[in-house]
Amino acid sequence: MTSATAAGGVKPPAARKSRKSVTGTRRMVAALFLLPALVLLGALVVYPIGYSVVRSFYDQSGDGFAGIDNYKALFTDEGIRTALKNNIIWVVFAPTVATALGLIFAVLTERVRWGTAFKLVVFMPMAISMLAAGIIFRLVYDQDPDKGVANAVWVGVHDTFAPSSAFPKAHPGRDSPLEPAGGGAFITKSPVRAGEAVSLPLVGVAPRLMPDDAKAAVAPEPQPDKVTGTAWQDFTRGRGVGTLNEVDRAELGYAGMKVEAVKDGKVVASATAADDGTFTLPASADGAQLRLPASNFKEPYNGLDWLGPSLVTPSIIGSYIWMWAGFAMVLIAAGLASVPRELLEAARVDGASEWQVFRRVTVPLLAPVLAVVTVTLMINVLKIFDLVFIIAPGSSQDDANVLALELYRKGFSEDQPGIASAISVFLLLLVIPVMWFNVRRLRREVRR
């Protein structure tokens, strides 16, 4: 049978030899059995193919012959070219990644007792509509890391390795001893002396964005042979700055603020402010200017713009893989079940590592199944429509465009049925090799 059914599809009740009619059918009866199917297929599938081919050679109104103009548009129209480019990306990446994941999952779950449960989870998205999957992933890809789970995870990972600063938007207030030092850093206007206490007042951090461990700021205490100081939010909620450039009660220290002492452009000492905003620098900071480096004030990392122009296609491909990796996995798992155990055992006995067994025995034996899965997914991806239509927001839909979407636009909202027909014929041409392959594969079998 077909390789698909060989992979474990519907099991026939038994083998059979001749398929000569047992009743000596009259042709009339055969025709009656076939009629409904052939009429519907003729009217709804075959006729439209012919119509589309003819229509693709006529202009948009359908009155004038247009030669190959509509086909030329396939390669000149900006929208169609983007669609074509994206379709290529889709066809190259979506089926291969889905098949590779399916293979990995199928092989790995074989060794786990709850493999079936895992398979069920991964296979489940196949049962739902692309519309529902689209809505699911619109939620996943929400730009705001507080709402979209993709960015929540991504920002979480990012901040683990590159913590974002605690004081975005903090800046010196009126008459401040600090001035901008370029690149977002701030520096004291005059050098500091050992034994002096330095005030580093800043304003501009929203109260709810202050670090949780910030405590009431403490005025700097001078210490001999040391530079001491306080960095704090010189702003009291509801009462403005209070005493300008002086620590007032209820003003919070900038817990964790980094302070550098800079002499002649070189950092000679550095310190981190305590929870109450105080810091202490050694005597070597004497005569240096104090700088609050830009890393204190970086905007918090907001994650990736998943549905923005550059990432939208990969993001949607991700959602497709979420839907279809299970399909690949189930087919491959069925193929795997028919791989003779003895072969694998023999390879292991011969001292092959698990990886070698996988690479040299399992994969070659599965090659036909892998091919069927990949080709099936390719045909499927060629026609991808719903996911792009739903997930790509209006602002980046042009960037996410694919042929089927462009066909829909041209044919049904831009009233260019000639070009739309050319796109459909183009899609049909792309699947003809598979059509031919299917027919050939069956011809041998039908003639048995």
Partner 1 sequence: MKAKEPLGSRLAEAVGGGVLRVFLIIVGLFWLVPTIGLLLSSLRSPEDIAASGWWNVFTEPSQITFDSYAKLLENDDITSSLLNTVWITVPATLLVVIIGSLAGYAFAWMEFPGRDWWFLGVVGLLVVPVQVALIPIAELFGTIGIFGSVLGVVLFHVGFGLPFAVFLLRNFFAEIPRELLEAARLDGAGELRLFFRVVLPLGGPAIAALGIFQFLWVWNDMLVALIFSDSGSQPITVALQTQVRQFGNNIDVLAPGAFISMVVPLAVFFAFQRQFVSGVMAGAVK
Spatial CB neighbours of 135, under 8 Å, sequence gap ≥ 6? 390
Name the pairing type of β-strands 289-292 and 178-182: unpaired
| Under rule CB under 8 A, residue 412 binds partner 1 | yes
Question: How many residues touch partner 1 (CB under 8 A)?
Answer: 116
Nearer to partner 1, 311 or 434 (CB): 434
| Under rule CB under 8 A, residue 23 binds partner 1 | yes
| Under rule CB under 8 A, residue 156 binds partner 1 | no
Nearer to partner 1, 130 or 255 (CB): 130
| Under rule CB under 8 A, residue 157 binds partner 1 | no
Spatial CB neighbours of 58, under 8 Å, sequence gap ≥ 6? 64, 65, 66, 418
Nearer to partner 1, 137 or 297 (CB): 137
| Under rule CB under 8 A, residue 121 binds partner 1 | yes
| Under rule CB under 8 A, residue 343 binds partner 1 | no
DSSP string, 16-51: ------SS---HHHHHHHHHHHHHHHIIIIIHHHHH
Question: What type of residue sits at position 208?
Answer: R
Q: Which of 58, 73, 102, 125 binds partner 1 (CB under 8 A)?
A: 125
Burial of 173 (0-12, 13-18, 19+ CB in 10 A): middle
Q: Which of 73, 106, 140, 252 binds partner 1 (CB under 8 A)?
A: 140
Instruction: Return the structure tokens found at 99.
Output: 């098949």
Contact indicator for 335, 108 with CB cutoff of 8 Å: no
| Under rule CB under 8 A, residue 36 binds partner 1 | yes
Q: Which of 8, 177, 204, 242 binds partner 1 (CB under 8 A)?
A: 8
Residue with tokens 């000149």: 76
Residues 284-303 interacting with partner 1 (rule: CB under 8 A) = none
Query: How many Å is the Cα radius of gyration of the chain?
Result: 34
**CB 46 to partner 1: min, Å:** 7
| Under rule CB under 8 A, residue 9 binds partner 1 | yes
Instruction: Return the structure tokens found at 321.
Output: 């893989």
| Under rule CB under 8 A, residue 152 binds partner 1 | yes
| Under rule CB under 8 A, residue 337 binds partner 1 | no
185: which strand partners? Answer: 182
Residues 361-400 interacting with partner 1 (rule: CB under 8 A) = 372-373, 376, 379, 382-383, 385-386, 389-390, 393-394
Please report which residue ranges of 221-311 form alpha helices under DSSP H. Answer: none
Which sign does the torsion angle of CA 361, 362, 363, 367 carry?
A: positive
Residues 45-64 interacting with partner 1 (rule: CB under 8 A) = 45-49, 51-52, 55
Angle between helices 312-337 and 363-382 (to 10 degrees): 140
**CB 64 to partner 1: min, Å:** 17
| Under rule CB under 8 A, residue 338 binds partner 1 | no
Q: Which of 241, 331, 357, 361 binds partner 1 (CB under 8 A)?
A: 331
Q: How far is CA 206 from the centre of its chain?
A: 33
**CB 350 to partner 1: min, Å:** 17
Q: How far is CA 329 from the centre of its chain?
A: 20
Residue with tokens 């012919």: 50
Contact indicator for 260, 238 with CB cutoff of 8 Å: no
Q: What are residue 58's phi and psi, to 5 degrees?
A: -110, 160
| Under rule CB under 8 A, residue 190 binds partner 1 | no
| Under rule CB under 8 A, residue 19 binds partner 1 | yes
**CB 150 to partner 1: min, Å:** 9
| Under rule CB under 8 A, residue 206 binds partner 1 | no
**CB 288 to partner 1: min, Å:** 45
Closest CA to 388 of 378, 402, 377, 406: 402
Nearer to partner 1, 279 or 327 (CB): 327
Nearer to partner 1, 287 or 393 (CB): 393
**CB 230 to partner 1: min, Å:** 35
Q: Which of 97, 98, 130, 247 binds partner 1 (CB under 8 A)?
A: 130
